[in-house]
Amino acid sequence: MTTPADTTPLPKQPPMRFAARWSRAWDSDLSWNFRHSPVAVAAAVTAVLFMTLALLAPWIAPQNAFDPGAVNLDDGFLRPMEKGAKGMTHVFGTDSQGRDLLSAILYGSRVSLLVGFASVGFSMALGVTLGLIAGFVGGRIDALIMRIADIQLSFPAILIALLVFGVGRGLIHPTQHERMAVMVLIIAIGLSHWAQYARTVRGATLVEKSKEYVQAARVMGRSPAAIMREHVLPNVLGPVLVIATINLALAVIEEATLSFLGVGVPPTQASLGTLIRIGQQFLFSGERWILFFPAAALIILALAINLLGDWLRDALNPRLK
Protein backbone atom coordinates (compact mmCIF):
# COMPACT_ATOMS: atom_id res chain seq x y z
CA MET A 1 0.00 0.00 0.00
CA THR A 2 1.91 3.02 1.23
CA THR A 3 5.59 3.43 1.87
CA PRO A 4 6.55 4.86 5.27
CA ALA A 5 7.87 8.05 3.69
CA ASP A 6 4.50 8.70 2.13
CA THR A 7 2.39 8.27 5.22
CA THR A 8 4.14 10.71 7.52
CA PRO A 9 1.90 13.73 6.89
CA LEU A 10 -1.39 11.82 6.93
CA PRO A 11 -1.10 8.64 8.98
CA LYS A 12 -3.66 6.00 7.97
CA GLN A 13 -6.24 8.63 7.04
CA PRO A 14 -6.87 7.83 3.37
CA PRO A 15 -7.63 4.06 3.70
CA MET A 16 -10.13 4.75 6.47
CA ARG A 17 -11.86 7.44 4.49
CA PHE A 18 -12.06 5.11 1.55
CA ALA A 19 -13.60 2.33 3.63
CA ALA A 20 -16.04 4.73 5.25
CA ARG A 21 -17.15 6.10 1.93
CA TRP A 22 -17.64 2.57 0.63
CA SER A 23 -19.84 1.48 3.50
CA ARG A 24 -21.81 4.69 3.38
CA ALA A 25 -22.55 4.15 -0.31
CA TRP A 26 -23.41 0.54 0.39
CA ASP A 27 -25.82 1.37 3.19
CA SER A 28 -27.70 3.96 1.24
CA ASP A 29 -28.85 4.45 -2.31
CA LEU A 30 -27.13 1.67 -4.17
CA SER A 31 -28.16 -1.08 -1.84
CA TRP A 32 -31.74 0.18 -1.59
CA ASN A 33 -31.87 0.36 -5.35
CA PHE A 34 -30.51 -3.18 -5.55
CA ARG A 35 -33.03 -4.63 -3.13
CA HIS A 36 -35.87 -3.06 -5.09
CA SER A 37 -34.78 -4.30 -8.50
CA PRO A 38 -35.88 -7.90 -9.03
CA VAL A 39 -33.87 -8.15 -12.25
CA ALA A 40 -30.68 -7.08 -10.48
CA VAL A 41 -31.23 -9.51 -7.61
CA ALA A 42 -32.00 -12.39 -9.98
CA ALA A 43 -28.96 -11.56 -12.13
CA ALA A 44 -26.71 -11.27 -9.09
CA VAL A 45 -27.93 -14.56 -7.62
CA THR A 46 -27.44 -16.33 -10.95
CA ALA A 47 -23.99 -14.88 -11.47
CA VAL A 48 -22.81 -15.63 -7.95
CA LEU A 49 -24.26 -19.15 -8.05
CA PHE A 50 -22.58 -19.77 -11.39
CA MET A 51 -19.25 -18.46 -10.17
CA THR A 52 -19.42 -20.53 -6.97
CA LEU A 53 -20.21 -23.72 -8.87
CA ALA A 54 -17.38 -23.02 -11.31
CA LEU A 55 -14.95 -22.28 -8.51
CA LEU A 56 -15.87 -25.49 -6.72
CA ALA A 57 -15.70 -27.58 -9.92
CA PRO A 58 -12.85 -29.88 -8.77
CA TRP A 59 -14.86 -30.85 -5.68
CA ILE A 60 -18.42 -31.01 -6.98
CA ALA A 61 -18.03 -32.11 -10.61
CA PRO A 62 -18.85 -35.81 -11.14
CA GLN A 63 -15.68 -36.22 -13.19
CA ASN A 64 -12.35 -34.48 -13.72
CA ALA A 65 -13.02 -33.10 -17.19
CA PHE A 66 -9.37 -32.18 -17.81
CA ASP A 67 -8.05 -35.65 -16.97
CA PRO A 68 -8.06 -37.92 -20.06
CA GLY A 69 -7.71 -40.93 -17.73
CA ALA A 70 -11.05 -40.25 -16.03
CA VAL A 71 -12.91 -40.44 -19.34
CA ASN A 72 -14.20 -43.68 -20.81
CA LEU A 73 -14.43 -43.74 -24.62
CA ASP A 74 -17.23 -46.31 -24.46
CA ASP A 75 -19.40 -43.69 -22.80
CA GLY A 76 -19.36 -41.48 -25.91
CA PHE A 77 -22.57 -39.79 -27.14
CA LEU A 78 -24.67 -40.69 -24.12
CA ARG A 79 -27.92 -38.74 -24.06
CA PRO A 80 -28.79 -36.54 -21.09
CA MET A 81 -29.72 -38.57 -17.99
CA GLU A 82 -28.30 -41.79 -19.45
CA LYS A 83 -26.13 -44.03 -17.27
CA GLY A 84 -22.51 -44.67 -18.25
CA ALA A 85 -20.47 -47.88 -18.03
CA LYS A 86 -19.48 -47.17 -14.42
CA GLY A 87 -23.07 -46.63 -13.39
CA MET A 88 -22.66 -42.85 -13.35
CA THR A 89 -25.69 -40.85 -14.47
CA HIS A 90 -24.70 -38.17 -16.97
CA VAL A 91 -27.21 -35.42 -16.30
CA PHE A 92 -26.23 -33.41 -19.41
CA GLY A 93 -25.05 -36.45 -21.39
CA THR A 94 -21.53 -36.97 -22.74
CA ASP A 95 -19.58 -35.76 -25.77
CA SER A 96 -17.90 -37.85 -28.47
CA GLN A 97 -14.98 -38.72 -26.17
CA GLY A 98 -17.28 -39.89 -23.36
CA ARG A 99 -16.63 -36.78 -21.32
CA ASP A 100 -19.40 -35.95 -18.85
CA LEU A 101 -20.83 -32.65 -20.13
CA LEU A 102 -21.89 -31.34 -16.74
CA SER A 103 -18.31 -31.72 -15.50
CA ALA A 104 -16.93 -30.25 -18.73
CA ILE A 105 -19.21 -27.21 -18.34
CA LEU A 106 -18.23 -26.71 -14.68
CA TYR A 107 -14.53 -26.93 -15.50
CA GLY A 108 -15.03 -24.92 -18.67
CA SER A 109 -16.84 -22.11 -16.83
CA ARG A 110 -13.89 -22.06 -14.48
CA VAL A 111 -11.49 -21.40 -17.36
CA SER A 112 -13.87 -18.86 -18.92
CA LEU A 113 -14.28 -16.97 -15.64
CA LEU A 114 -10.57 -17.16 -14.83
CA VAL A 115 -9.72 -15.61 -18.20
CA GLY A 116 -12.59 -13.12 -17.79
CA PHE A 117 -11.63 -11.90 -14.32
CA ALA A 118 -7.89 -11.90 -14.97
CA SER A 119 -8.21 -9.98 -18.22
CA VAL A 120 -10.60 -7.45 -16.68
CA GLY A 121 -8.16 -7.01 -13.80
CA PHE A 122 -5.30 -6.55 -16.22
CA SER A 123 -7.08 -4.06 -18.48
CA MET A 124 -8.44 -2.21 -15.44
CA ALA A 125 -5.00 -1.87 -13.85
CA LEU A 126 -3.46 -0.75 -17.12
CA GLY A 127 -6.29 1.57 -18.14
CA VAL A 128 -6.74 3.19 -14.73
CA THR A 129 -3.00 3.80 -14.36
CA LEU A 130 -2.65 5.31 -17.82
CA GLY A 131 -5.84 7.33 -17.41
CA LEU A 132 -4.71 8.72 -14.07
CA ILE A 133 -1.33 9.67 -15.48
CA ALA A 134 -2.85 11.21 -18.60
CA GLY A 135 -5.36 13.25 -16.64
CA PHE A 136 -3.06 14.27 -13.82
CA VAL A 137 0.15 14.96 -15.69
CA GLY A 138 -1.43 16.31 -18.88
CA GLY A 139 0.60 17.78 -21.71
CA ARG A 140 2.39 15.56 -24.18
CA ILE A 141 2.02 12.36 -22.17
CA ASP A 142 -1.72 12.94 -22.04
CA ALA A 143 -1.88 13.58 -25.78
CA LEU A 144 0.16 10.46 -26.55
CA ILE A 145 -1.84 8.11 -24.30
CA MET A 146 -5.21 9.41 -25.44
CA ARG A 147 -4.19 9.32 -29.10
CA ILE A 148 -3.30 5.64 -28.77
CA ALA A 149 -6.58 5.04 -26.94
CA ASP A 150 -8.49 6.87 -29.69
CA ILE A 151 -6.93 4.78 -32.42
CA GLN A 152 -7.51 1.57 -30.53
CA LEU A 153 -11.12 2.42 -29.68
CA SER A 154 -11.96 2.80 -33.34
CA PHE A 155 -11.10 -0.87 -33.94
CA PRO A 156 -13.33 -3.63 -32.52
CA ALA A 157 -11.91 -5.34 -29.46
CA ILE A 158 -12.07 -8.80 -31.00
CA LEU A 159 -9.72 -7.71 -33.79
CA ILE A 160 -7.18 -6.28 -31.34
CA ALA A 161 -7.38 -9.45 -29.23
CA LEU A 162 -6.83 -11.65 -32.27
CA LEU A 163 -3.83 -9.59 -33.34
CA VAL A 164 -2.27 -9.56 -29.87
CA PHE A 165 -2.90 -13.28 -29.62
CA GLY A 166 -1.22 -13.88 -32.97
CA VAL A 167 1.75 -11.70 -32.08
CA GLY A 168 1.99 -13.40 -28.68
CA ARG A 169 2.13 -16.78 -30.33
CA GLY A 170 4.79 -15.51 -32.69
CA LEU A 171 6.93 -14.42 -29.74
CA ILE A 172 6.57 -17.68 -27.82
CA HIS A 173 8.34 -20.86 -28.86
CA PRO A 174 5.86 -23.31 -30.47
CA THR A 175 6.50 -25.99 -27.81
CA GLN A 176 5.26 -23.53 -25.16
CA HIS A 177 2.07 -22.58 -27.01
CA GLU A 178 -0.29 -24.86 -25.07
CA ARG A 179 1.15 -24.07 -21.69
CA MET A 180 1.08 -20.32 -22.25
CA ALA A 181 -2.26 -20.20 -24.10
CA VAL A 182 -4.33 -19.01 -21.12
CA MET A 183 -1.72 -16.38 -20.26
CA VAL A 184 -1.56 -15.06 -23.82
CA LEU A 185 -5.35 -15.05 -23.97
CA ILE A 186 -5.62 -12.99 -20.77
CA ILE A 187 -3.13 -10.45 -22.06
CA ALA A 188 -4.78 -10.32 -25.49
CA ILE A 189 -8.28 -9.73 -24.11
CA GLY A 190 -6.94 -7.36 -21.45
CA LEU A 191 -5.08 -5.25 -23.98
CA SER A 192 -8.19 -4.98 -26.12
CA HIS A 193 -10.19 -3.21 -23.38
CA TRP A 194 -7.85 -0.85 -21.51
CA ALA A 195 -8.69 2.24 -23.57
CA GLN A 196 -12.22 2.61 -22.18
CA TYR A 197 -10.94 2.71 -18.61
CA ALA A 198 -8.22 5.16 -19.54
CA ARG A 199 -10.67 7.52 -21.21
CA THR A 200 -13.16 7.44 -18.32
CA VAL A 201 -10.53 7.77 -15.60
CA ARG A 202 -8.80 10.60 -17.44
CA GLY A 203 -12.04 12.54 -17.66
CA ALA A 204 -12.82 12.02 -13.98
CA THR A 205 -9.24 12.86 -12.99
CA LEU A 206 -9.40 16.17 -14.87
CA VAL A 207 -12.44 17.06 -12.78
CA GLU A 208 -10.95 15.91 -9.48
CA LYS A 209 -7.58 17.52 -10.15
CA SER A 210 -8.89 21.03 -9.73
CA LYS A 211 -10.76 20.31 -6.51
CA GLU A 212 -9.61 21.72 -3.20
CA TYR A 213 -8.64 18.48 -1.53
CA VAL A 214 -6.09 17.80 -4.26
CA GLN A 215 -4.68 21.30 -3.91
CA ALA A 216 -4.56 20.79 -0.16
CA ALA A 217 -2.62 17.59 -0.60
CA ARG A 218 -0.25 19.41 -2.94
CA VAL A 219 0.28 22.17 -0.40
CA MET A 220 1.01 19.54 2.22
CA GLY A 221 3.87 18.42 0.01
CA ARG A 222 2.65 15.02 -1.04
CA SER A 223 4.24 13.57 -4.14
CA PRO A 224 2.16 13.50 -7.35
CA ALA A 225 2.24 9.69 -7.27
CA ALA A 226 0.83 9.63 -3.75
CA ILE A 227 -1.87 12.18 -4.61
CA MET A 228 -2.91 10.16 -7.63
CA ARG A 229 -2.92 6.88 -5.74
CA GLU A 230 -4.47 7.88 -2.45
CA HIS A 231 -6.55 10.96 -3.14
CA VAL A 232 -7.68 10.95 -6.75
CA LEU A 233 -7.95 7.20 -7.37
CA PRO A 234 -10.70 6.43 -4.82
CA ASN A 235 -12.78 9.25 -6.25
CA VAL A 236 -12.64 8.06 -9.83
CA LEU A 237 -13.35 4.39 -9.16
CA GLY A 238 -17.17 4.56 -9.35
CA PRO A 239 -17.48 4.59 -13.14
CA VAL A 240 -14.57 2.14 -13.34
CA LEU A 241 -16.65 -0.39 -11.45
CA VAL A 242 -19.46 -0.07 -13.98
CA ILE A 243 -17.11 -0.52 -16.93
CA ALA A 244 -15.47 -3.49 -15.21
CA THR A 245 -18.79 -5.29 -14.71
CA ILE A 246 -19.90 -4.76 -18.28
CA ASN A 247 -16.43 -5.66 -19.53
CA LEU A 248 -16.49 -8.90 -17.56
CA ALA A 249 -19.40 -10.06 -19.69
CA LEU A 250 -17.60 -8.81 -22.79
CA ALA A 251 -14.39 -10.58 -21.78
CA VAL A 252 -16.18 -13.87 -21.15
CA ILE A 253 -17.85 -13.59 -24.55
CA GLU A 254 -14.57 -12.57 -26.18
CA GLU A 255 -12.79 -15.56 -24.67
CA ALA A 256 -15.61 -17.83 -25.86
CA THR A 257 -15.38 -16.28 -29.32
CA LEU A 258 -11.62 -16.73 -29.57
CA SER A 259 -11.83 -20.30 -28.30
CA PHE A 260 -14.69 -20.93 -30.69
CA LEU A 261 -12.54 -19.64 -33.54
CA GLY A 262 -9.92 -22.15 -32.45
CA VAL A 263 -7.32 -19.61 -31.34
CA GLY A 264 -8.09 -19.58 -27.62
CA VAL A 265 -7.39 -22.20 -24.99
CA PRO A 266 -6.36 -25.70 -26.17
CA PRO A 267 -8.93 -28.55 -25.97
CA THR A 268 -7.05 -29.97 -22.96
CA GLN A 269 -8.27 -26.98 -20.96
CA ALA A 270 -11.59 -26.58 -22.72
CA SER A 271 -13.48 -23.40 -21.88
CA LEU A 272 -17.15 -22.82 -22.70
CA GLY A 273 -16.15 -21.53 -26.14
CA THR A 274 -14.09 -24.64 -26.87
CA LEU A 275 -17.01 -26.85 -25.80
CA ILE A 276 -19.31 -24.96 -28.17
CA ARG A 277 -16.74 -25.38 -30.94
CA ILE A 278 -16.70 -29.14 -30.28
CA GLY A 279 -20.49 -29.30 -29.98
CA GLN A 280 -21.03 -27.51 -33.28
CA GLN A 281 -19.53 -30.49 -35.12
CA PHE A 282 -22.42 -32.67 -33.95
CA LEU A 283 -25.20 -30.25 -34.85
CA PHE A 284 -26.03 -32.11 -38.06
CA SER A 285 -25.69 -35.63 -36.74
CA GLY A 286 -28.35 -35.12 -34.09
CA GLU A 287 -26.31 -35.07 -30.87
CA ARG A 288 -27.58 -31.59 -30.07
CA TRP A 289 -27.04 -31.70 -26.35
CA ILE A 290 -23.26 -31.53 -26.84
CA LEU A 291 -23.79 -28.03 -28.24
CA PHE A 292 -26.90 -27.04 -26.38
CA PHE A 293 -25.74 -27.23 -22.75
CA PRO A 294 -22.44 -25.34 -23.10
CA ALA A 295 -24.19 -22.69 -25.24
CA ALA A 296 -26.95 -22.31 -22.66
CA ALA A 297 -24.36 -22.00 -19.89
CA LEU A 298 -22.52 -19.26 -21.77
CA ILE A 299 -25.73 -17.36 -22.53
CA ILE A 300 -26.93 -17.52 -18.93
CA LEU A 301 -23.57 -16.40 -17.58
CA ALA A 302 -23.15 -13.54 -20.06
CA LEU A 303 -26.74 -12.39 -19.68
CA ALA A 304 -26.57 -12.39 -15.87
CA ILE A 305 -23.37 -10.32 -15.79
CA ASN A 306 -24.71 -8.00 -18.49
CA LEU A 307 -27.96 -7.33 -16.66
CA LEU A 308 -26.01 -6.70 -13.48
CA GLY A 309 -23.77 -4.24 -15.30
CA ASP A 310 -26.76 -2.49 -16.88
CA TRP A 311 -28.41 -2.12 -13.51
CA LEU A 312 -25.21 -0.83 -11.93
CA ARG A 313 -24.78 1.73 -14.69
CA ASP A 314 -28.31 3.03 -14.25
CA ALA A 315 -28.07 2.98 -10.46
CA LEU A 316 -24.85 4.99 -10.46
CA ASN A 317 -25.99 7.41 -13.15
CA PRO A 318 -27.07 10.60 -11.38
CA ARG A 319 -29.02 11.78 -14.42
CA LEU A 320 -31.50 8.92 -14.08
CA LYS A 321 -32.40 9.67 -10.48
Three-state SS sequence of 72-101? CHHHCCCCCCEECCCCCEECCCECCCCCEH
User: Residue from 79, 156, 178, 225 that binds other proteins (CB under 8 A)?
Assistant: 156
Nearest Cα neighbor of 73 from 98, 101, 104, 100 is 98
The span of 107-115, 144-152, 178-186, 236-244 binding other proteins (CB under 8 A) equals 144-152
Q: Please, which residue, 18 or 292, has the CB nearer to other proteins? A: 292
Are residues 305 and 44 in contact, defined by beta-carbon separation less than 8 angstroms? no
Contact status: 122 vs other proteins (CB under 8 A):
no
Q: Shortest Cβ distance from residue 289 to other proteins (Å)?
A: 13
Sequence-distant (≥ 6) Cβ neighbours of residue 138 within 8 angstroms = none
Supply the DSSP string of 106-170, one letter for each residue.
Answer: HHHHHHHHHHHHHHHHHHHHHHHHHHHHHHHH-HHHHHHHHHHHHHHHTS-HHHHHHHHHHHHHH
Asked if 151 is part of the footprint of other proteins (rule: CB under 8 A), the reply reads yes
Which position among 60, 85, 159, 207 is part of the footprint of other proteins (CB under 8 A)?
A: 159
The stretch near other proteins (CB under 8 A) out of 46-54, 97-105, 168-176, 232-240 is: 168-176
Residue closer to other proteins by CB (options 102, 250) is: 250
Binding mask 170-209 toward other proteins (x if CB under 8 A, else -) reads xx--------------------------------------
Q: Which stretch binds other proteins (CB under 8 A): 23-31, 137-145, 204-212, 255-263?
A: 255-263
Which residue type is seen at 90? H
Selected from 120, 162, 204, 244, the binder of other proteins by CB under 8 A is 162
Q: In the set 37, 263, 313, 316, which binds other proteins (CB under 8 A)?
A: 263
Q: 187 vs 276, which CB is nearer to other proteins?
A: 276
Q: Where are the beta strands (DSSP E) in the chain?
A: 82-83, 89-90
Residues 193/250, Cβ–Cβ less than 8 Å = yes
Rounded distance between C-alpha atoms, residue 180 and residue 184, angstroms: 6
Q: Is 10 helix (H, G, I), strand (E, B) or coil?
A: coil
Give the residues lining the site for other proteins (CB under 8 A). Answer: 147, 150-151, 153-156, 158-159, 162-163, 165-167, 169-171, 249, 253, 256-257, 260-263, 276, 280, 283-284, 288, 291, 295, 298-299, 302-303, 306
